[in-house]
A and B are shown apart, each in its own frame.
Chain A
Amino acid sequence: MLTERQLQISPIVQESVMHNTKTLTTLHNLTASLFGVGAGILGLESYPGFLFYLIFSLITSALVYAFRVRPGFIEESQAQGNSGMGRYFRNSMELWTGGLFEGLSGFVLTWTLFYGLVRA
């Protein structure tokens, strides 16, 4: 955790934090609905369906990490020797689990809809 003095020197701007979170949430919401479509068309039931959602959400997060977060801090981390996650997120859990629960309701909705449509 940063001390108060370090926070003053390199402050965390609330607007930027909110913008980052919002961007990530939008991505997760949208992809969750699409995963629901996929799970419904595949006709997955109960546990495989939720597992499908979990795995693909994590893949989404991993892609965000690999393509958006990683290149940004690669020089920085070489210079300072830290993991560099703090450049965009306050802790790494925010990236990995942040959108998991927000997207779940959208996932269930489209999953049910397409499952019903395909298996009618």
Chain B
Amino acid sequence: MAQIPVQTIHRDPQLFYWILIPITVVMILTGVLRHYATVLMATEPKKQELPAIREQRSLLRGINLRTNANVISPASFQARKDYLVNAYERGDFLKDPDKKGQAAANPMTDPAAMEGMMGMMKGNMAMMIPQTLIMGWINAFFSGFVIIRLPFPLTIKFKSMLQAGVGTRDMDPQWMSSISWYVLCIFGLQSVFNYLLGSDNAASQMAQQMGQMGPGAGAQMFGPGVDPDKQFKAEAENLSVLAHEYTLEGVEDRLLETVRV
């Protein structure tokens, strides 16, 4: 393979002061701003009525009993199980016991459900608006500038990605335009945000996208459109088929084994 001479392009050092550094600083500051905007916009959970809370908590109690069953003695587990299974099956904890057999309400008409969707919308907005704005800002002011060179070679396939807005056919794909620097910043600034804001921050777009899948599991449980009676029935069934095995069984032998002399 013939040695290809390295392309050198003489860039004005002013490019750094007026393009590279502004973009980087703006990206970092936007991340910080987004973090605090998300923190400030997070609405406090609305106060729920007593029966609604009782419905949720009693279901959680069943789940907790199921996960931690093995740390309590068989007698107390049996007592708790009997109580909960009976109550679940009778529907004692339901918010409104009269509506037991009916289908769940349409989630769109339920005001509590709308609240949740608004929260999700806000999160999306906090991500979308700055992204669009900065993209537009870079396009308007800095499009077409080649500002920096990647320190590692890339194949020609990356050319359209890295040199968006630069119409030079023969330029080495290592050279990056300002838009590509912006993209690189999106991916690489995670560690900076971790350092600045702590690791639970809401600054990174990457983390936002991951997070959208995460909380779905929690919301599903008490979400709208789920019949609580059916959940109670299912939990009662789970509890009654659970095989209980006491952790402390045979603990004396295990203890004696560790202190063998």
Contacts of A102 in B (CB 8 A): 190
Query: Within 8 Å of chain B (Cβ to Cβ): is A30?
Result: yes
Q: B151 touching A115 by the CB < 8 A rule? A: yes
Query: Within 8 Å of chain B (Cβ to Cβ): is A97?
Result: no
Contact with B along A96-120 (1 / 0, CB 8 A): 0000001101111111110111011
Contacts of A8 in B (CB 8 A): 70, 245, 247
Q: B16 touching A117 by the CB < 8 A rule? A: yes
- Complexed CA–CA distance, A100 and B52 (Å): 46
Query: Within 8 Å of chain B (Cβ to Cβ): is A38?
Result: no
Contacts of A22 in B (CB 8 A): 199
- Complexed CA–CA distance, A20 and B187 (Å): 24
Contacts of B150 in A (CB 8 A): 112
Interface size on B, residues (CB 8 A): 28
- Complexed CA–CA distance, A115 and B247 (Å): 59
Q: A112 touching B184 by the CB < 8 A rule? A: yes
Query: Within 8 Å of chain A (Cβ to Cβ): is B167?
Result: no
- Complexed CA–CA distance, A91 and B97 (Å): 50
Q: How far is the CB of A111 from chain B (nearest CB, A)?
A: 6
Q: How far is the CB of A117 from chain B (nearest CB, A)?
A: 7
Chain B, residue nearest A114 (CB): B151
Contacts of B20 in A (CB 8 A): 113, 116
Query: Within 8 Å of chain B (Cβ to Cβ): is A45?
Result: yes
Query: Within 8 Å of chain B (Cβ to Cβ): is A85?
Result: no
Q: How far is the CB of B47 from chain A (nearest CB, A)?
A: 28
For A103, give its contact among B24, B149, B191 (CB under 8 Å).
Answer: B191
For B247, give its contact among A9, A47, A110, A113 (CB under 8 Å).
Answer: A9
Query: Within 8 Å of chain B (Cβ to Cβ): is A83?
Result: no
Q: A110 touching B149 by the CB < 8 A rule? A: no
Q: B192 touching A106 by the CB < 8 A rule? A: yes
Chain A, residue nearest B251 (CB): A9
Q: B151 touching A46 by the CB < 8 A rule? A: yes
Query: Within 8 Å of chain A (Cβ to Cβ): is B43?
Result: no
- Complexed CA–CA distance, A77 and B42 (Å): 47
Query: Within 8 Å of chain B (Cβ to Cβ): is A29?
Result: yes
Query: Within 8 Å of chain A (Cβ to Cβ): is B141?
Result: no
Contact with B along A34-64 (1 / 0, CB 8 A): 0000011000111101100000000000000
Chain A, residue nearest B198 (CB): A26
- Complexed CA–CA distance, A110 and B184 (Å): 10
For A45, give its contact among B147, B152, B176, B184 (CB under 8 Å).
Answer: B152
Q: Which residues of B contact A (CB under 8 A)?
A: 11, 13, 16, 20, 24, 70, 147-153, 176, 184-185, 187-192, 194-195, 199, 245, 247, 254
Not counting A25-B199, A30-B191, A106-B188, a sample of 16 additional A-B residue pairs whose C-beta atoms are within 8 angstroms of each other reads A9-B247, A25-B194, A26-B195, A29-B194, A29-B195, A33-B191, A45-B151, A45-B152, A47-B152, A105-B187, A110-B188, A112-B148, A112-B150, A112-B176, A115-B151, A117-B16
The 10 closest A-B pairs by CB, nearest first: A109-B188, A29-B191, A106-B191, A116-B148, A46-B152, A115-B151, A105-B187, A105-B188, A33-B191, A8-B247
User: Can you show 21 pairs from A to B with CB atoms below 8 A apart?
Assistant: A8-B70, A9-B247, A25-B194, A25-B199, A29-B191, A30-B191, A45-B152, A47-B152, A49-B151, A105-B187, A106-B190, A107-B188, A108-B184, A112-B148, A113-B20, A113-B24, A115-B149, A116-B147, A116-B149, A117-B16, A120-B13
